[in-house]
Amino acid sequence: EVQLVESGGGLVQAGESLRLSCATSGFTFDDYAVAWFRQVPGKRREGISCRMDGSIYYADSVKGRFTISTDNARNMVYLQMDNLKPEDTAVYYCAADKPWGISTYCSGSYFYGMDNWGKGTQVTVSS
């Protein structure tokens, strides 16, 4: 059974940093892609980062500011968020799924179809 639990959200001021954590179980990073999404009320979830082996994707809105990483030995996924902006305010979700042999799974937006999700953690950035 795949399980994902996010933590690390909170209230910060613009320009500050946060690191989100996702504790995973039920799969290995050798077989699964992992991703971070965010959602504002009334809008669809936005895929902001995806990692699959050597393939890493970032949405234009966060590229250069956010970094996805994994600790394979501890089954952890992280999202380092630097230079946060008020428009980054959202609920952030960790997700995972098999890429089914698709080499462009992350860069081609196939990861929007992931079936395994955490419950989310709130990030609020004030000005």
Pairing of strands 121-126, 10-13: parallel
Question: How far, in Å, CA of 105 to CA of 92, rounded?
Answer: 20
Residue-level pLDDT at 93:
98
What's the pLDDT tens digit per position in 74-125?
999 999 999 999 999 999 999 999 998 999 999 988 999 999 999 999 999 9
β-partners of residue 77 are 22, 70
Query: What share of the chain has pLDDT > 90, as a percent?
Result: 95
If one counts every other C-beta atom within 10 angstroms of the C-beta of residue 94, the result is 27
Instruction: Provide the pLDDT for residue 24.
Output: 98
